[in-house]
Amino acid sequence: MRTIIGPDVDLSKTDMSGVDLQAAYLTDADLSGSTFIGTNLCEANHSGANLQQANLLRANLVNADLRWANLENTNLTFADLTGANLSKARLANTNMTGIKFDSQTVFPIDFDFKKVLLQL
């Protein structure tokens, strides 16, 4: 089942902790400063979304579409990024301590894996 929220919505500074947003459609949404602690975002479409300074601690982002998303200064600590697509995502100053990813996870071409490995 697909949760339809819609593109270009403004959910900035919203607490969505623990909410099931599996397959949510959040393309180009403003989610800056929002909290998604333990939220199920599996297969959600966040392409082009603004997630600056969001808290995604332990979020389930399995197979999520995060292409072109702005994740600068975002907390992804212990998030599950298995199979997620982060190509062209902006990841400056993003906390990726303990993230889970696999060979299907797509990172930006210039992504520095050493930064992730040093945080483990």
Q: Please tell me whether residue 57 adopts helix, strand or coil conformation.
A: coil
Residues 57-77 pLDDT 10s: 999 999 999 999 999 999 999
Domains: count for the chain = 1
In whole angstroms, give the CA distance from residue 104 to residue 28: 23
53 vs 117 pLDDT, higher one:
53
* Integer CA distances (angstroms), 6 to 23, 62, 92, in order: 12, 20, 27
CATH assignment of the domain containing 13:
2.160.20.80
Which phi and psi (to 5°) does residue 91 adopt? -120, 20
What is the model's pTM? Answer: 0.91
Asked whether residue 116 is assigned to any structural domain, the reply reads: no
Asked whether residue 78 is assigned to any structural domain, the reply reads: yes
- What is the pLDDT at residue 8? 87
